[in-house]
Amino acid sequence: MVRSLALASIMALSAVGVAHGQTALSTPPSAEQIEGIIAVVNDDPISFTDVRQRARLLLLSLGGQQPSQEQIQQITTQALEQLIDEKLQLQEAAEYEVEVSDDDIAASINRLAQQSGITRDILMQSLIQSGVNPTSLEEQTRADIAWRRIMGGLYGSRIRISDNQINEQLKRLEADAQKEQYLVSEIFIYAPLAEDKAEALPAARSIVDQLRAGAQFQIAAQRFSMAPTAATGGDMGWIVEEDFDDERKLALQSMDGPGITDPIEVEDGIYIINLRAKRDPSQSSTLVDVTRVSVNDASEENLKAALEQIGDCSEIETVADADDNLRAIALEDLNVEDLGPEGKSMVMDTEVGQHTDIFAQSGTLAVMFVCDRKSDVAAVPNRDQVEDRLYSEQLGMISERSLRNLRREATIIRRQ
């Protein structure tokens, strides 16, 4: 599974939470140098230091409340499992002679940083200040890139989304638009056996505690979920009750409003659901095309100077391309309900062609240009969006199945 680091969480961590995590996982440098091996994956070792660094990265990603000793132990276990997956992915890359260069890794991390309006140097410095060796992120990125290339090369061209599939999906979505809908995100922990569930349930409760204490669901999904939606932060979009099994349907029905469910046990694992919003068929939808413009240096003066050069949305790209300090990210056909209460209010109060007030986000300053707005439309995606989603779902399921097969066939020795 491709899991990417959500940078906004890193930049927003509380000093207390980070310090607590560092203390709980800290070991003197001399001790780290002589520590041994915690696991061997097909003859490739994983050291205690590797696990400690990844656990710090996971703690940093979650943020939220100060973790208890039990939660730290559960996160450390999760760190080991992730490292085992990455060893298997890199071994498969070697088998298929898939290479990932240092430039590939740097470019990927640069893109991640830019998406949050910061530079790669700021990201790396944030990791170091929090006691995380940047090598842990770099090696995770190497495995992510290699695995995506393998999956895309082996199966990407084999996946065919037919017109009939798209038509059927559009027909279903149009019918769903006439029912009560739920905007949800998910975390799925694969635990097919009773003993697996017994081990996974405390970890799921720990994640729920962190989420209810303020940790971002998107980051937790990217780090812990084994569903195909993990790559998009667990986002399932708008769904109807019929899309869920009885257990998850009951959990949704029991919720009065937005919030995080308790862990939901199903046949093959455990779900955590984030209910973000509800809407009934009588509610009309508003779709917007917006472009987020931000500055890398978090300077309000520089952002205002750039905005003076932008007359309307058609000029954003030209101005951004000419200024290395400026970043522009365009989003089309975005449902305003997906922006949250504050984001929705900000965008709806802005005239088309104009920008919102300046706001702080991900360690920098930004505005949103409202480039188009369509009201009273059916909340149904277009054909291209449906095709892309079906393709991603199929490739994601193939990726998960392939990784599970590698685990089943591997020789994994744990020395705990």
Are residues 83 and 29 located together in one domain of the fold?
A: yes
Are residues 12 and 151 located together in one domain of the fold?
A: yes
pLDDT at 206: 86
Which domain CATH number covers 300?
3.10.50
Are residues 76 and 212 located together in one domain of the fold?
A: no
Q: Is the separation of the CB atoms in 294 and 117 below 8 Å?
A: yes
Q: Is the separation of the CB atoms in 375 and 387 below 8 Å?
A: no
Q: How far apart are CA 216 and CA 65, in angstroms?
A: 11
Are residues 98 and 233 located together in one domain of the fold?
A: no
Q: Is residue 165 part of a domain?
A: no
| Per-residue model confidence as pLDDT tens digits over 10-66 | 333 333 334 444 444 554 444 444 468 999 999 999 999 999 999 988 887 766 556
For the chain, what percentages of helix, strand and coil (3-state, to nearest 5) are there?
55, 20, 25
Q: Is the separation of the CB atoms in 293 and 369 below 8 Å?
A: yes
Are residues 273 and 305 located together in one domain of the fold?
A: no
> Number of helices (H) and strands (E), helices first, in the chain?
16, 12
Which domain CATH number covers 85?
1.10.4030.10
Q: Identify the domain containing residue 211 by its residue range.
A: 179-280
pLDDT at 8: 35
Query: Which of 158, 190, 224 corresponds to the end of one domain?
Result: 158
Are residues 364 and 221 located together in one domain of the fold?
A: no
Q: Is residue 150 part of a domain?
A: yes
For tokens 């240096």, the residue is: 297
Are residues 366 and 264 located together in one domain of the fold?
A: no
Query: Which of 280, 306, 337 corresponds to the end of one domain?
Result: 280
Q: Per this entry, what is the length of the chain?
A: 416
Each residue's pLDDT, cut to its tens digit, for the chain (416 residues) gives: 333 333 333 333 333 334 444 444 554 444 444 468 999 999 999 999 999 999 988 887 766 556 777 778 878 888 999 999 999 999 999 999 999 999 999 998 887 777 666 778 888 888 898 889 999 999 999 999 999 999 999 998 899 999 999 999 998 888 887 788 888 999 999 888 888 888 889 889 988 988 998 888 888 888 888 888 887 889 998 888 888 999 999 999 898 889 999 999 999 899 999 999 888 775 667 889 999 999 988 899 999 999 999 988 999 999 999 998 898 999 888 888 778 788 889 999 999 999 999 998 766 889 999 999 887 665 677 889 899 989 988 998 899 899 999 999 999 998 86
Q: How far apart are CA 67 and CA 70, in angstroms?
A: 8
Which domain CATH number covers 255?
3.10.50.40
Q: Sheet holding 359-361: strands in order across? A: 326-335, 285-295, 364-377, 359-361
Q: Is residue 344 part of a domain?
A: yes
User: Could you give the number of structural domains in the chain?
Assistant: 3
CA distances from 17 to 54, 130, 204, 224, 270 (A): 16, 10, 20, 19, 27
Longest dimension (CA), the chain: 65
Q: Is residue 117 part of a domain?
A: yes
pLDDT at 246: 92
pLDDT at 296: 84
